[in-house]
Chains A and B, each alone.
Chain A
């Protein structure tokens, strides 16, 4: 019995180790590539530990002509912060209304929101582009943020959570004379912390890794985000993979930090929401 248990445990951990290695290998390749000289990048057999490791690529990405790395990093940060918090607020407000109020056309409106989730982003890309062009907002961060303010996934996720908050809390607050805003800020939001963190994390990751939309909207290189800058280094006959890997590694850091901060809440949020990440 005991031996059995040990055997099955061992197998289980071996299996987990194998998966972990598979997941970490590309990451290791990134680290290794970023430390190599250009000539050594594609050397076969792969040299996991570079023969002459150098931080050259890490230095070089700060002196590129086409993109100012620090500026791009700040741009990315700015965009990601806006895209994390603004949709969070709009979604929470909409979800509050959908979860706790009766109004005419509520079901229809909610279904309409859900329906927009079925439309792939690539289809709305050009109409959105034309709308923003008409508003003279191309090449601005406003154009990056505006389409995300109506986040039906977020509204849905939060509504499902808010519905579970007992009306008694709210009624008690109303009896005490609390206004709607007070209820929203001091009762609903604190009770919904896990889902807020979950969605915040999703938003942040989505915004940080966002590529296609900024690519189309931002034509001014000074406004480029990190991801745009890194992907536009190469020319048709010259690769900068080691720079790209160095830049990509640096760009992972904020995601890791944000994840570590919100990890505890995210797990709760995902389980109570009953939604897979």
Chain B
């Protein structure tokens, strides 16, 4: 240690202050170099956080936004585009929590309820009236899907249904008939067996064994996860056990679907493109990619059911932050992005999901665009669309059920054991 008398003297301390101040000054001077650009006068700038374009449709998104800005010179849109995944949610949630929410943000249907319940987006009915945008422009049922407590909470931007995509070449090779709209589980299983018999690492079908698939498939078998009044769980009902058993049998009994080891982390899409999968459930978003990459004939059909049909429906919606200073401009933008004819055409050209407008001529163009043939299956599937169970502790339920189903998938629990466990845990931990 310095001896006391060698400690800083007054003149030294003066210098300390001087240097400190200089550093501070430099910092202050440097800061603006990095600072965000200033807004132009008379122009309202709105920020739109989004994920669904990714790199793949980034250009299309930019074109749509440019169209909007050309037609609305008083509004400037700053895109805050990210890739799909945890990145987006982490960044969005932090920014909302930190009080820096973007004016508009995109959510998928899975997250829509969670954000709405937590009050991050504002109701839009008043804005519909104010701006004169008609609610009638949206396809049937789509505004219901984004309503909460009787209020419209988002502008539906795009939607997708999930269909059965199949490899016609493998079906031909196995001399088994193509799927039809009234196919049942049994029909699908028979075809899958024929295809699997074709060779090593060729699989009849791929249907994921997890919560999201499960809550849909149980409804094909007359089951559900909760009673109709939403007061009790019915996770381990006999028909649900039968359903899970059927899902597991595809892997462990009939071997028409790969185990996790056999799949070895390969994305199902790549396996399909490689000609290793006969049937694959996936959304219409896959069409663009398949068109580019698939070298054999392929087709689509509605997903097979059992007692009834049940299909997945996905959608991306645009929400307006409760904290935005420009709700009207933001609403105008979101409505434009969903319904402007040129924007809709851009979306269709890019095969970037389906537009949410009800205009039938729009859909005609979509249906005529092949491959695949039989595109009407995409729209017909919407009739059987099912929603996930609605409850506040949705993510807990997902977690509880999914962990058990995955144990069953990997052969560590039977279907009954897994669902009994899930039922007990859900009833204990979740308040209905």
The one of B7, B49, B59, B286 that contacts A102, using a Cβ cutoff of 8 Å = B7
- Closest B residue to A235 by beta carbon equals B54
What residues on A are CB-neighbors of B34 within 8 Å? Answer: 140-142
Please tell me if the beta carbons of A215 and B90 are within 8 angstroms of each other in the complex.
yes
A residues less than 8 Å from B78 (CB atoms): 220
Asked whether, in the complex, the Cβ of B1 is within 8 Å of the Cβ of A42, the reply is no
State whether A42 touches B267 (Cβ < 8 A).
Answer: yes
Q: For the complex, is B74 an interface residue (Cβ under 8 Å from A)?
A: no
Complex contacts, B3 vs chain A, CB 8 Å? 167, 171
The answer to whether A237 touches B265, judged by C-beta atoms less than 8 angstroms apart, is no
Bound-complex Cα distance A202 to B170 (A): 55
Q: A133 CA to B100 CA in the complex, in Å?
A: 7
B231 within 8 A of A: no
- Give the residues in chain A near B266, CB-CB below 8 Å: 42-44
A221 at the binding interface (Cβ < 8 Å): yes
Contact string against A for B residues 1-24, beta-carbon threshold 8 Å, 1 for contact and 0 otherwise: 111101110001001100100000
Tell me whether B1 and A133 are in contact (CB under 8 A). no
- Assuming the contacts A39-B293, A235-B52, A235-B53, asked whether A101 and B8 have C-beta atoms less than 8 A apart, the reply is yes
- Contact indicator B87/A232 (Cβ below 8 Å): yes
Q: What's the nearest-Cβ distance from chain A to residue B418, in Å?
A: 28
Q: B289 to A237, Cβ gap below 8 A?
A: yes
B35-A237 in contact (CB<8A): no
Q: Which of B19, B52, B56, B90 contacts A181 (CB 8 A)?
A: B19
Chain B residue with the shortest CB-CB distance to A134: B99
With A and B bound together, what is the CA distance between A140 and B269 in angstroms? Answer: 39
Q: Which residues of B contact A215 (CB under 8 A)?
A: 87, 90-91
> B47, A219: Cβ atoms under 8 Å?
yes
Q: What total of A-B pairs shows CB separation below 8 Å? A: 148
B39 interface residue (CB < 8 Å to A): no
Q: Does B94 lie within 8 Å of A216, measured CB to CB?
A: yes
In which size bucket is the chain A interface?
35 or more
- Scan B90-117; emit 1 where CB is below 8 A from any A CB, else 0: 1100110111101000000000000000
A232, A234, A240: which has the most chain B beta carbons within 10 Å? A232
Chain A 214-273 residues near chain B, CB threshold 8 A: 215-216, 219-221, 231-240
Is A236's CB under 8 angstroms from B54's CB?
Answer: yes
Question: Is A139 within 8 A of B36, CB to CB?
Answer: yes
Q: Using Cβ atoms and an 8 Å threshold, which residues of chain A touch B282? A: 237
Are B100 and A138 in contact, CB atoms less than 8 angstroms apart? yes
Contact in complex: B270, A41 (CB < 8 Å): yes
Query: Which A-chain residue is minimally distant from B88 (CB atoms)?
Result: A232
Contact A101 B91 (CB under 8 A): no
Judge if B390 is at the interface, Cβ distance under 8 Å. no
1/0 per residue, CB under 8 A from B, across A32-73: the answer is 000000110111100000000000000000001111000000
Q: Is B228 positioned at the interface, with any CB of A under 8 Å from its CB?
A: no
Partner of A235, one of B31, B56, B62, B80: B56
> Given A43-B274, A167-B1, are A216 and B289 neighbors across the interface (CB < 8 Å)?
no
Q: Tell me, yes or no, whether B273 is within 8 Å of chain A by CB.
A: yes
Write the nearest CB–CB distance from A257 to chain B, whole angstroms.
25
Closest residue to A238 on the B side, CB-wise?
B56
* A14-22, A124-132, A151-159 - interface stretch: A124-132
A100 within 8 A of B: yes
Say yes or no: B55 contacts A233, CB within 8 Å.
yes
